[in-house]
Structure 1
Amino acid sequence: MPDGSRAKFSPSTIKKWFLNYKHGGFDTLIPKSRNDAGKSRNIDSNTEAKIHELKECFPYITGTLVYQKLVEEGYIKAAKTSLATVLRYIRENNLKRNQLVPLDRHAFEMEFANDCWQSDTSHGPIIRINGQKRHTFLITFIDDASRLILHGEFFFYDNAVNMQTVFKKAISKYGIPKKVFVDNGKTYKNDQLRLICASLGVSLIHAKPYSPESKGKIERSFRTIKDNWMNGINWNDYTSLEALNMDFIKYLNEKYTNSIHSSLGEAPRNRYLKDSERIKFISPGDLDNHFLHRVSRKVSNDATIRLNCIQFEVPAKYIGQKINVRYSPIDLDKAYIFDRDNKISYTIYPLKKVDNSKIKRNVIDYSKMNGGNKYV
């Protein structure tokens, strides 16, 4: 070959080249491009549509995971279509993460305090409790207009009940917001939170998946907390959540809340107080009722129901019926049966079997039934 390499060609190949040159000249020897250039022979139109659907729903999904889903759902066969084929299609169609067109975003800020709150969870420090290391999570609520941290608290678990606890404390101190802007995790996306917000008249808004930029204000507040306080503390000194939370509240009150915010040009507390006349508060009793969890339960034959694996005793007249029950997930000492008019019918308590064994039961006198015939 001209480059010094060696190659073998069959007589039929050389004959084809010769005939092409004889009839069409030199141009006929130039390799022709494929008629299906730019298209994959092993990826049909249905598979292409599925790839685009996956990348649209999950912009940051990896090509390897796309390939696995295509195989699992029967769009392609692993023996026929390789991972490299799918990765090449994603790359050539500008579907890679760094090839996606950025969303059109605009910086925003609410006009008044309590127009919108944001909430999120951040990883906290690891502290020792009775010699055992425990990971903590910081859940906070921040006001969009004033950047005021309405309430924040460390927990050992990032779950819906703890989030609702922080939400309730924030409302008790700073009133009811018009909107709440939260993430899509199960901590923030559940039926009980939707019912609580609907009961309070609060609009619950979830951020678009894989879009942390939309919650920039609360993400920036977490960074401030870590830079100005969390990263400069010796966490080995803490042996309880109570001590950790006490120091965090102290930091909020003495520094964060009263420090000049770079975007506002004033302290978050001062900005919040400018709209004090617009704040709508709620009484503690009503607030407790709004945050009760709402469930339906069918009463068993022994006149009991279960709430969070705890048996509650209900009036015998409800046996076999479906009743509406409300309860506090952090205080299961009692619960409430609500009637159709949304009013409390009965207060019920956990079942005490030993106490029930000492209660005298009402005995039915059959001799007084059916006209006095004692043989029924």
Structure 2
Amino acid sequence: MDPKNEQLAVFWCDLLRPILYSEISPEETNRYLKNLAQEPVVYPDGKCKKPSLSTLKRKLAAYRIGGFDALGRKKRNDQGKSRSVAEEIIKAAIAIKKEQPYRSDITINRILEEQFGTTIPRSTLYRHLKDAGATRLKLGVTTKPVRKRWTCENAHDMWVGDFEEGPYVMNGPDAVPTYLSAFIDCCSRYGVSARYYYRQNLDVLIDTLLRALATHGMPLGLYIDNAKVYHSNGLKAACYRTGIRLLYRKKGDPEGGGIIERLFRTIQERFEAEVRAGDILSLDELNHAFAAWLAQDYHKTRHTEIGTTPEEALHQGTRVTRRMDLNAFCTSFMQTVKRTVHATFSDIQLNKRYYKTDPRLRGDRVEVRYDPFSNQDTVQVYSLKGVYLAEGILHQRTAVDPAPPVKAPGKPEND
């Protein structure tokens, strides 16, 4: 799937996520889709418009049949059609809505059918209701979220991830800051993955997550900070492909974020305080000491919130280990660059390394795709139109390749 279609597929999954992740009951699905079709949304191309109910149902069916990769843009069959509605009927519809703000388009059209023998298309109806200030919001109908205690019944139901500033380390002759990236299991308070890095960005978050996935398998959900850097199409696509529910912390809402903030405070008080009291370490030394402390101290110490140690809670709370294909997960993070195949060495240069490819591609402008989280021994070579051409294999330039054989011209068909 090309980046543009993948961005569009993520867009549809974001709209349908309460249904995809069973956050609403099957009986409420149609109501949710109808409500979703009432309000304009911003599409990936920047246009703001209302998704039709038929489109939403078609996208939902496509996902259920073919998964994430089955989603894509399709032209509407009714595009360009219009329908005029009498002013008298529009005024009646507005009055019906104002009389009872909870009335849906179906109820309003049922009343119009009885009074006038006709109905108004949903998009037209809500456009006029919005212009007349006759929406639920404008009529004062609001709902407040119901607060629930943040907890999970089983281990690996939800992992919470975030960053925190760490101690300084030596990087050559310089003392530089570090950042702790961590994921904690919501049920057991077990640190499924935690390491110090020189920076805090999406690549570090994904590296920490991959380490957790490789060790503990796949969680049902992830809960991370709402910062813009984490709203990555690659991360969303990876989660949709594997069925991991991705949640972002709402601004000013601690909820599950308090769980990992408690972990960070414990690390600062019981580990980093001792690190800062001693000689400054290198990054490798810091991570080595931290891994030992995490395994021998934190995971084996009784946690007051759960009444047992994180290690015991993880063991007792693990009902199933959900193994996953990490290669499939990493597919969503493939990076794409354009390169020209060297005319002499039949290779491509990427990040100061050379990749040998098909000699027949000498001099061609190509698209190179690679996994930034792998050892990058190989890359994939595509045409600029997205057609797979060959594989690029890491090599050292030692000799010039012979030119590919030239096919002798045959006898012309028309002489």
Which category of TM-score, normalised to the shorter sequence, fits these structures?
0.5 to 0.7
* Aligned counterpart, 2:380: 336
Q: CA deviation at 1:186?
A: 4.6
Q: CA deviation at 1:320?
A: 7.1
- Deviations along 1:86-137, one digit per CA (max 9) or x if unpaired, are xxxxxxxxxxxxxxxx986443201111111000000000122333111000
Give the Cα–Cα distance (whole angstroms) in 2 for the partners of residues 207 and 319 of structure 1. 49
Amino acid paired to 2:334: R
Give the Cα–Cα distance (whole angstroms) in 1 for the partners of residues 336 and 170 of structure 2. 40
The farther-off stretch of 305-314 and 266-275 is 305-314
* Aligned counterpart, 2:226: 184
Q: 1:323 to 1:131 in 2, by over 3 A?
A: closer
* Unaligned stretches of 5+ residues in structure 1: 1-101
Q: Is the 8 A contact 1:140 1:149 kept in 2?
A: yes
* Aligned counterpart, 2:97: none
The RMSD of aligned alpha carbons is 3.7
Alignment of 1:199-214 (within 5 A): 199-214=241-256
- Deviations along 1:312-333, one digit per CA (max 9) or x if unpaired, are 5554469979768342345233
Give the Cα–Cα distance (whole angstroms) in 1 for the partners of residues 395 and 275 of structure 2. 46
Q: CA deviation at 1:288?
A: 3.9
Q: CA deviation at 1:270?
A: 0.8
Question: Are 2:391 and 1:347 equivalent residues in the alignment?
Answer: yes
User: Which of the numbers 151, 154, 173 marks the counterpart of 1:109?
Assistant: 151
Q: Is the 8 A contact 1:298 1:320 kept in 2?
A: no
Q: 1:111 to 1:319 in 2, by over 3 A?
A: farther
Q: CA deviation at 1:149?
A: 0.6
Question: Are 2:396 and 1:362 equivalent residues in the alignment?
Answer: no
Give the Cα–Cα distance (whole angstroms) in 2 for the partners of residues 310 and 122 of structure 1. 34
Q: 1:323 to 1:198 in 2, by over 3 A?
A: farther
Q: CA deviation at 1:211?
A: 3.2
Amino acid paired to 1:188: Y
Give the Cα–Cα distance (whole angstroms) in 2 for the partners of residues 261 and 112 of structure 1. 17
Partner SS state of residue 278, structure 1: coil
* Aligned counterpart, 1:291: 330
Aligned pairs, how many? Answer: 265
User: Which of the numbers 207, 223, 248 marks the counterpart of 2:290?
Assistant: 248
Give the Cα–Cα distance (whole angstroms) in 2 for the partners of residues 369 and 327 of structure 1. 47
Q: Is the 8 A contact 1:160 1:186 kept in 2?
A: no
- Deviations along 1:75-96, one digit per CA (max 9) or x if unpaired, are xxxxxxxxxxxxxxxxxxxxxx
* Aligned counterpart, 2:321: 279
Give the Cα–Cα distance (whole angstroms) in 1 for the partners of residues 405 and 239 of structure 2. 48
Q: CA deviation at 1:368?
A: 3.7
Give the Cα–Cα distance (whole angstroms) in 2 for the partners of residues 122 and 207 of structure 1. 16
Q: CA deviation at 1:230?
A: 1.0
Alignment of 1:34-183 (within 5 A): 105-183=147-225
* Aligned counterpart, 1:269: 311
Give the TM-score of the pair, scaled to structure 1. Answer: 0.60
The farther-off stretch of 156-165 and 144-153 is 156-165
- Deviations along 1:144-189, one digit per CA (max 9) or x if unpaired, are 1111111100000112222111111111221210100001235532
Partner SS state of residue 181, structure 2: strand
Give the Cα–Cα distance (whole angstroms) in 1 for the partners of residues 329 and 400 of structure 2. 37
Q: Is the 8 A contact 2:155 2:319 kept in 1?
A: no
Amino acid paired to 2:302: I
Give the Cα–Cα distance (whole angstroms) in 2 for the partners of residues 143 and 183 of structure 1. 15
Give the TM-score of the pair, scaled to structure 2. Answer: 0.55
* Aligned counterpart, 2:134: none
User: Identity, % of aligned pairs?
Assistant: 22
Q: CA deviation at 1:235?
A: 5.9
* Aligned counterpart, 1:218: 260
